Structure 1
Amino acid sequence: MNSNETQPDDVTARVHEAFHRLTDSIVGDLMLRPPATEADLTVAEAHLGQQLPDDVRALYLLHDGQHQYSAADPRFAAGIFTGLPLLPLHDVLFSWDQWEGFEAEEDMDDFASSTPEGFVQPKYSTRGWIPLSHDGGGNHIGVDLNPGPAGTVGQVITFGRDDDEHQVLAPSLLSYLEQVTALITSGAVTPSNDEDDPDWTLSGPQSKLFHPTGITTT
């Protein structure tokens, strides 16, 4: 059962539990922002023209992202997306807006694919991909609201400027949070404890480390 098949109150409780277990496993300053409000989420969804999954809403009602590095405040938060920070809602919308127009550039789709095959649309960009993180170079981990024929609405994927082979990391944000914690516990992923170098150490590619619950290729 994924987060879209449970009641919102249950999703909220499970996201809170998963988030706290994850953050307890991370060394370093998370620089978490205060919660977003229901009004903030309503504005964001109106801007996106689509409803966010319950687990994404629950996470933002817990914290509206993490501090973002800037010239005015050049600090790195200990990012929860295997080292990448959770974007505040206003930065989610800003990043999403940067992709406007690329969906129509079909010649840029020529090299696009997904792992597993058919789970993500073979596109360079689509407005159904909502960035929840960024690496500072135009690449994201986010949720997919317009998946391929084998995919699931709300699945967590990679996409961006350098990402032709989109990876499905988890069938939901809740599952992703749980899996990151499990990978830290197993030693497959090691959070950075250097505030000047936020990159985490992974024992292998994300596509090999993550095992999306319920995702099969047969």
Structure 2
Amino acid sequence: MPPIHEFATWEPLLWLLYTDNAERLAAPGGHVAGHISHGGWSVPVRRRSPPPGRAAQIEDMQEEHDAVGRVHAALTASGIEGVAFVAEISPAGRAVLHLIETGPAVEPGTGGPHPGSILLVEGAVPEPWRRLPDPVDGASPDPGADPAVLERTLRERLPDAIGATEEEIAAAEEQLGVALPAELKALYRVTRARWEDWDGDYDKAEPVYDAVGCELFPLDRLYIADASSRPCSWQFAAMEAVVTPPDARVQGVVGSPGWIVFGDNGGGDRLAVDLTPGPRGHTGQIILLSHEENIGAELLAASLTDLVLNGENEGDGDRRPPEQPAVAYVNIHGVSSVRAAADPALEVLSIGVWEGEPVSLAPVVGLPRLRTLSAYPGTLADPLEITELTGLEYLELGPEDWRVLLDADAVPRGLLAAGIEVHSDRHPLPVVDLANELLARWDRPPMTRTVLEGDL
């Protein structure tokens, strides 16, 4: 038996859950639930407050830390990334523990026991992750781009730097499968940015950062920032849309075969040479890919020469338009109605918390690009209207609305992925059963549930 499926592994944590949630567990249907993975955990136990004037320390939650650590060790030994759990414990201490493993067809939830997006078609990705940049006729380098000036300037700033050989540059091009632009070659001819060249000394690396304007990657760490380099869970990725206004300098795509990443700003954001610019951009411009964004990029400089000579262009980055018809959030603080959201360009419709009567989907029936619908529980007047939305690839509904579609055998067959919107206090086991019912319709691997029992 894998260690994660042994009752003894969980006993210390179950005891904490039992003592901290006695009233909740004793109620009819009482249970507690959580999730533990190598990346973190969410368990319903009370955190002891530290003494006034002192920040929280590990010792303030030592029992929880030790109990979760026991589960972490079992996850490692069992070769499992994470597991959700539901515990039912009687007042006498009889514990029934349900362990839930998502399997290959369900993404992990966002820190809780409920499943994340349900992958109905293996390997499918949302539409923005399938989009390539549009060709831009007449795109050309910025007039100020000058590899010779760039190289001369860098040699003056870095007189002792070790440059890459032509063989090393050629090897990098072969690895990438693309020719490096002339400015990037000029940069690496001056400094190859290898850590061993600086003897592992940050002080020796600092002049390169100052001279170039970023933490420069060595040649063998260059990569293409295509869409696959920015993975994102379906529940978030399906809510994005590729929008590139006519005056944009940078295309609003997730990634591009023409984005060559060469550095980092020190905060996890990547710098890239852009060979597929927007309608008003320049070939070879420098863009920033934010680690906090799933899509698009920001313009930093018109060229690598511009970046080195003048630094970042403050305030010159592209920003998404404040309103775009491709994505509509209908809720008490957003778009006022489904009718107001209806537009031929609409791709993503999210219906959130709503104070009025449940809404009809009739205004968006027949829209040619609508591919995502997310509806908060109780907001739809008739869930069966979803059958009229023939282009959906992602659908997120509450359990009751899914039940209507399943009972009527009306779940859209064109879906690539699905989500179940639940409140955090809802019992996870019926939600797991619902997810497995959806998976079965597509003949996909189910989530698994293991039951452990014992006395505390």
What range is the shorter-chain TM-score in? 0.5 to 0.7
Name the counterpart of 1:119.
249
- Partners of 1:209 and 1:82 lie apart in 2 by 20
Q: Which whole-Å CA distance do the structure 2 matches of 1:133 and 1:144 have between them? A: 13
Distance 1:75 1:142, change over 3 A: same
Matched residue type, 1:125? G
Is the Cα–Cα contact under 8 Å of residues 3 and 174 in structure 1 kept in the other structure? Answer: no
The residue identity in structure 1 corresponding to 2:217 is L
**3-state SS in 2 of match to 1:169:** strand
2:190 corresponds to which letter in structure 1? L
Letter in structure 2 aligned against 1:86: L
Conserved 8 A contact 2:142-2:282: no
Change (3 A) 1:208 1:40: same
Indicate if the aligned counterparts of 1:116 and 1:168 stay in contact, CA closer than 8 A: no
Pairwise CA distance, 1:18: 2.6
Q: Shift of residue 119 of structure 1?
A: 1.3
Unaligned runs of 5+ in 1: 24-29, 181-205, 212-218
The residue correspondences of 1:64-75 to structure 2 (distance < 5 A) are: 64-65=192-193, 67=195, 73=200, 75=202
Deviation at 1:208, TM superposition (A): 2.2
Partner of 1:18: 153
**1:101 and 2:206 matched:** no
Match of 1:202 in 2: none
The 4+ residue runs of structure 1 with deviation greater than 6 A are 2-6, 103-106, 111-116
Partners in 1 of 2:229 and 2:292 — Cα distance? Answer: 14
Q: Does residue 36 of the first structure (1) align with residue 164 of the second (2)? A: yes
Higher relative contact order (CA 8 A, sep 6+): 1
**Any conservation in 1 of the 2:253–2:296 contact (CA below 8 Å)?**
no
Is 1:154 the equivalent of 2:154? no
Distance 1:177 1:207, change over 3 A: closer
Decide whether the 8 Å contact of 1:33 with 1:66 is kept in 2.
Answer: no
After TM superposition, the structure 1 stretch with the greater mean CA deviation from structure 2, 143-152 or 107-116, is 107-116
Report the TM-score when normalising by structure 1: 0.59
Corresponding position: 1:143 with 2:273: yes
The match for 2:260 is: 130
3-state SS of the aligned residue for 2:257?
Answer: coil
SS in 2 for 1:130: strand
SS at match of 2:270: strand
Query: Secondary structure at the residue paired with 2:202?
Result: coil
Question: Cα distance 1:83–1:16, how it changes in 2: closer, same or farther (>3 A)?
Answer: closer
Is the alpha carbon distance of 1:114 and 1:80 closer, same or farther for their aligned partners in structure 2, counting shifts above 3 Å? farther
Distance 1:178 1:33 in 2: 18
Match of 1:208, SS state, is: coil
- Identify the residue that residue 16 of structure 2 maps to in structure 1: none
CA separation of 1:100/1:116 partners in 2, compared to 1, >3 Å: closer, same or farther? closer
Q: Is the 8 A contact 1:3 1:54 kept in 2?
A: no
Two-structure CA RMSD over aligned residues (Å): 4.1
- State how far apart, in whole Å, the 1-side matches of 2:245 and 2:287 are: 10
Provide, for residues 50-105 of structure 1, a one-character-per-residue CA deviation record: whole Å limited to 9, x for no partner: 2222111111111112649xxx9473632137763211111224xx47x6624797
- Aligned: 1:168 with 2:299: yes
Distance 1:12 1:120, change over 3 A: closer
- 1:57 maps to what in 2? 185
**1:90 equivalenced with 2:220 (yes/no):** yes
The answer to whether the 8 Å contact 2:164/2:189 transfers is yes
Identity %: 25
| Deviation per residue, 1:103-125 (Å, 9 max, x gap) | 79793682677899521110222
Distance 1:208 1:136, change over 3 A: closer
Other structure's SS at 1:149 match:
coil
> So what's the TM-score if we normalise by structure 2?
0.31
Supply the distance in 2 between the matched residues of 1:125 and 1:33 (Cα, whole angstroms): 32
- 1:208 — aligned with what? 314
Q: Secondary structure at the match of 1:124?
A: coil
Answer whether contact 2:162 2:190 (CA < 8 A) is retained. yes
Structure 2 vs 1, CA of residues 113 and 166 (structure 1 numbering), >3 Å: closer, same or farther? farther
Contact 1:84 1:134 in 2 (8 A): yes
Unaligned 5+ runs, structure 2:
1-139, 318-456
> For 1:150, what is the secondary structure of its paired residue?
coil
Contact 2:301 2:313 in 1 (8 A): no
CA distance in 2, matches of 1:173, 1:108: 34
Residues paired across the two proteins, number: 170
Larger radius of gyration: 2
